[in-house]
């Protein structure tokens, strides 16, 4: 029983970044922009959060810096792809490479190590866990839902709010039209570029939150390659969920569960095999993609159709 409760609690902890990146990325995908730079955006904000908190000694400056940097990166992405007509995948690859090397070079230049920056002096990850007064008395929920980070509770709100925005507001309709038929949207008078920009801003904010959750809240330190392909995993979650925020969130939860399963099972197997468990999340994604896409491919009467994107 204890194991299951632990697993559920870990699932919630692990799903938070997935959920955030997914629910923001859905907007970008719906607006017809294939954005693979979410990975880099998350990495950059995780780095900026820790770096600025470490340099100034104040956590809120780190948080602000992370959000600003994420916005800056998505502005660059917007400028290069939508405004200057660069290839989406090329620009995304460039940003991802940048996210892999700029933190490393800055860390080596400033602190002499290229692998990590530990800021546990300023940020105590144990204090980041919130103890909610009413929730900590309910028998089942107190083990699972209580003692999570602030972002966890925020995520529920953000996901709900963004789903509502997508389906119940004018802006949501504009986003969907922009993605489905750009020329029609332009003809009706929707400023498609502006819609795409706003979607990228939403994605930047959620990516920044995800990065902050990874580095500042969960560990209090930054290590190179911290986002660990989360951007791509969320891309596949969006893909599986057919770009609908609700469904995509469910897939994000599944991937979060698998990641939690890997961490929990790790404690019960010999050390030699535990490194092999690292493939579990990645293998799951490929299998899930296969299960989701195979029936659709069969129904498709065209001999070859360009796929989801």
Partner 1 sequence: MKLFKKASELSLEELDKRTRFQSSLGDIIIPLVLAFSVGSIFSLICSCNPFTLYSFIIKKAFLSTGGLLNTLGYATPIIMTGIATAFSIKAGIWNMGIEGQVFFGAFTSALAGYMIKGLPSFIHIPLCLLIGALFGALYALIPGVLKARYQINEVVTTVMLNSIATTVTGFLTQSYLGTGDAYAHTEYILQTARLAKLSSRYRCTTAFFIALVIWAVLFFVLKRTKFGYQVGCIGKQLEFSDAVGMHVRHKVVIIFVIGGAIAGIAGATEIMGVNYNFVNTFSANPGIGWDGFFACILAGGNPIGIMIYAIVFGALRYGALAAQTGLGVPLDLINVIKSALILFMAIKLVSSQGKTIKEFFIRLFARRKEAN
Tokens describing residue 72: 């800056």
Q: Is 301 in the site for partner 1 (CB under 8 A)?
A: no
Q: Is 239 in the site for partner 1 (CB under 8 A)?
A: yes
Residue 37 gets the label, from left (phi > 0), alpha (psi -120 to 50) or beta, of alpha
Tokens describing residue 53: 């908190």
CB of 22 to partner 1, least distance (A): 13
Question: Which among 230, 199, 197 is positioned nearest to 45, based on CA atoms?
Answer: 230
Q: How many helices (H) and strands (E) does the chain have?
A: 14, 4
Q: Is 309 in the site for partner 1 (CB under 8 A)?
A: yes
Q: Is 101 in the site for partner 1 (CB under 8 A)?
A: yes
Task: Give CA separation, 17 vs 12, 230, 254, 301, in Å.
Answer: 10, 8, 13, 37
Choose, by CB under 8 A, the member of 104, 154, 165, 265 that binds partner 1: 104
Nearer to partner 1, 104 or 122 (CB): 104
Nearest 5°: phi and psi at 84? -105, 10
Q: Round to whole Å and give the CA distance between 218 and 229.
A: 18
Choose, by CB under 8 A, the member of 21, 26, 70, 91 that binds partner 1: 91
> Among the candidate windows 42-50, 140-148, 162-170, 229-237, which touches partner 1 by CB under 8 A?
229-237
| Contact residues for partner 1, defined by CB under 8 A | 36, 76, 80, 84-87, 89-91, 93-95, 97-98, 100-102, 104-106, 108-109, 114, 229, 232-233, 235-236, 239, 272-273, 275-276, 278-279, 282-283, 285-286, 289-290, 293-294, 296-297, 300, 302-309
């Amino acid at each position: 029983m204890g194991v299951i409760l632990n697993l559920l609690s870990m699932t919630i902890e692990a799903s938070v970044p997935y959920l955030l990146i997914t629910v923001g990325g859905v907007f970008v995908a719906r607006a017809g922009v294939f954005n693979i730079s979410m990975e880099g955006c998350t990495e950059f904000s995780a780095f900026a959060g820790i770096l600025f908190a470490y340099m100034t000694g104040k956590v809120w400056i780190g948080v602000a810096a992370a959000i600003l940097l994420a916005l800056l990166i998505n502005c660059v992405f917007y400028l290069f792809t939508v405004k200057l007509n660069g290839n989406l995948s090329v620009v995304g690859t460039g940003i991802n490479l940048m996210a892999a090397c700029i933190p490393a070079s800055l860390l080596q230049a400033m602190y002499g190590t290229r692998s990590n920056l530990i800021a546990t002096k300023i940020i105590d990850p144990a204090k980041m866990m919130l103890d909610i007064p009413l929730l900590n008395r309910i028998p089942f929920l107190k083990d699972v839902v209580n003692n999570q980070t602030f972002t966890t509770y925020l995520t529920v709100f953000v996901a709900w709010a963004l789903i509502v925005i997508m389906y119940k507001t004018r802006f949501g309709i504009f986003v969907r039209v922009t993605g489905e038929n750009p020329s029609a949207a332009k003809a009706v008078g929707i400023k498609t570029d502006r819609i795409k920009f706003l979607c990228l801003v939403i994605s930047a904010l959620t990516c920044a939150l995800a990065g902050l959750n990874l580095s500042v809240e969960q560990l209090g330190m930054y290590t190179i390659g911290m986002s660990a392909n989360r951007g791509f995993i969320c891309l596949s979650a969006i893909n599986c969920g057919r770009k609908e925020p609700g469904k995509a969130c469910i897939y994000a939860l599944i991937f979060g569960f698998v990641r939690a399963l890997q961490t929990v099972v790790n404690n019960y197997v010999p050390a030699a095999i535990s490194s092999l468990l690292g493939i579990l999340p990645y293998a799951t994604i490929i299998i899930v993609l296969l299960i989701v896409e195979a029936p659709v491919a069969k129904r498709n009467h065209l001999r070859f159709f360009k796929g989801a994107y």
